Amino acid sequence: MEFGLFTQFASPPGVSDAAAFDESLGQMEAAEDMGFDAVWLAEIHFQKDRSVLASPLVIASALAACTRRVKIGIAVQVLPLSHPLRLAEDVATVDHISKGRLEFGVGRSGLPGHYQGFNSRTRRSASRRRLPRRTRSWDGSGRRSSWRCARPR
């Protein structure tokens, strides 16, 4: 059995964004020091009083630089909100920076505000279309094999 710590990078009223990032990054480093096996990051958009964690892969990269052992999980990357090839490249890059410690989870989010803020009404169909594109881009088996990007470790 493995133990992990899930975070949304809480942003309570009256706390600056910088303080929210510092507090949560400190918690993630402490989780490694206490022997946790993994830290898991949410993706939350447009909810300032709830979270400052809109870019989990950016934070995962920062965690990879300041930790050595703990796995870094994305729970979940909201697929319809990102370009398939760009996301595939970003995931592969973070996986390399972390030396293979990235655990990549995908989903479509149940929070309508995520989609409204990006002027998007599509959730389920976009997720179904985009996941295969991301995995094909790692092995060059997609429509345009010249679009092959960096692969995860």
Q: Name which residue leads in pLDDT, 113 or 40.
A: 40
The 10s digit of each residue's pLDDT in 2-33 is 999 999 999 998 999 999 999 999 999 999 99
Q: For residue 133, give the H/E element and its range.
A: helix 124-139
Query: Which residues neighbour 83 within 8 Å (Cβ) at sequence distance 6 or greater?
Result: none
What pLDDT, on the 0 to 100 scale, is given for residue 115? Answer: 62
User: Would you state the pLDDT for residue 145?
Assistant: 46
pLDDT of residue 140: 60
Residue 76 φ/ψ region, left for φ over 0, alpha for ψ in the -120 to 50 degree band, beta for the rest: beta
| CATH class of residue range 4-138 | alpha beta
What are the extents of the domains in the chain?
4-138
SS (H, E, C) 62-126: HHHHHCCCCEEEEEEEEHHHCCHHHHHHHHHHHHHHCCCCEEEEEECCCCHHHHHHCCCCCCHHH
Q: Model's pTM, two decimal places? A: 0.77
d(CA 12, CA 41): 17
User: Which stretches of 1-83 are DSSP H helices?
Assistant: 17-33, 56-66
Q: How confident is the model at residue 141 (pLDDT cuts 50, 70, 90)?
A: low
61-111 residue pLDDT tens: 999 999 999 999 999 888 888 888 889 899 999 999 999 999 999 887 666
In this model, does residue 146 exceed pLDDT 50?
no
Where is pLDDT greater, at 117 or 27?
27
